[in-house]
Amino acid sequence: MQWWRDAGVDYSFADEASSWLAAPEIKAAAAPAVYVASKPQAPPPKPLIGGDPSLWPQDLASFKTWWIGEPSLDGGMNQGRIAPRGGQNAQLMILIDQPEAEDGEDLLTGPLGNLLGAIIAASGVDPAQTYLASLLPRHMPHPDWGDLAATGLPELTRHHLALAAPQRLIGFGRHVSSLLGHDPAKTADSFTTITHSRGAVPALMAPGLEDLMGRPRVKARFWQTLLDWQRA
């Protein structure tokens, strides 16, 4: 290129002529890129509480042992579990949402258990004819009740109820009530009947024991409801 500059050629030439006055050629705009969103993959279903229902124990004694040791009941966490206490065909079954934080080896041996014992004694039910159970095998600070309901806890609870086969049932607390299909927001009637695979049981859905302990008016209202239920 320097040789051409020294020869006096300081412009660029081409063999083909071009029109200097022609309108500039407009290139077609490229088609815009189309973004196709990929469908998010559905998360895998969460495992059922208690595993395969066909493998659940079919007698109460085996169920109590299984309740303490079955890993799928609580994500493999076995420490702190408390077994139900009482026998089959009890006059009354008491069902709470979870063991007390103060419970030791037995269910409902803390302050709430003392209140429950007084209620049972005043109602005329023989304590030896009561069966005490909980929805969860151990105390948990903040259970995800919605997730528990979606992964099989209602079905497991009804199976437990079928094995215990009590004559009557009192469920303490809104979680017990909702998991057994009795929505207190839709009905003011605390009396209901809970069905299970082996029959049905008359049930009373009551406030939680914590509410009864801390609110005298709630306790008085529950006591009257309990008397009405026993006479029904």
Alpha helices in 124-197 (DSSP H): 145-150, 153-164, 174-179
Ordered by start, the domain boundaries in the chain are 57-231
pTM here is 0.79
Please name every residue paired with 201 in a beta bridge, in sequence order, or none if there are none.
194
Tokens 């009947």 found at: 193
- Residue 60 is predicted with a pLDDT of 97
Q: Residues with Cβ < 8 Å from 98, sequence gap 6 or more?
A: 134, 135, 136, 138, 139, 140, 143
* Run means of pLDDT, 10 residues per run, the chain, 232 residues: 73 65 65 70 81 94 95 84 95 95 89 91 91 95 92 95 96 93 70 91 94 91 92 81
Q: By C-alpha distance, which of 179, 99, 182, 109 is closest to 139?
A: 99
Alpha-carbon gap, residue 109 to 102, rounded angstroms: 7
- Residue 172 is predicted with a pLDDT of 95
- Residue 185 is predicted with a pLDDT of 57
Q: What CATH number is given for 57-231 in this structure?
A: 3.40.470.10
- Residue 223 is predicted with a pLDDT of 92
